[in-house]
Amino acid sequence: MNEAPKKSEGERLLEQVQGMSTGTLLEWIAGKKEHVLDVWIGRYELERRRAKWSEIRSWVTIGISVAALIVSIVALVLKKNG
């Protein structure tokens, strides 16, 4: 029979912190000792959440740039033809 592989402590902690709100996660980290696995995983999750918004902003910026490029090319073509 195929049993699912057992999850490591780190994987279990990561699943636990992913379900927490940011406020709860910050309180959870504050109650831990420095340089323990719990704190590292909590900080990793906070950084992952912060980076998510940076990634979204990057894609929006790329989209705006591509749209501006298309408008510039269309304007250039219309100017040559008109």
Q: pLDDT (tens digit, 9 = 90+) per residue, 10-64?
A: 888 888 888 889 898 888 888 878 778 888 888 889 998 888 888 899 999 999 9
Q: What is the mean pLDDT of residues 72-80?
A: 93
Within-domain flag for 74: yes
CA atoms of 2 and 42, how far apart (whole Å): 32
Within-domain flag for 18: yes
Higher pLDDT, 71 or 10: 71
Structural domain of residue 36, as residue ranges? 9-81
Within-domain flag for 42: yes
Q: Is the pLDDT of residue 1 over 60?
A: no
Q: What is the DSSP letter of 32?
A: S
Predicted TM-score (pTM) of the model is 0.58
Within-domain flag for 2: no
In the chain, the N- to C-terminal Cα span, in Å, equals 74
Within-domain flag for 17: yes
Within-domain flag for 35: yes
Higher pLDDT, 69 or 2: 69
| Domain count for the chain | 1
Residue of 8, 42, 40 whose CA lies nearest to 24: 42
CA atoms of 41 and 28, how far apart (whole Å): 11
Within-domain flag for 1: no
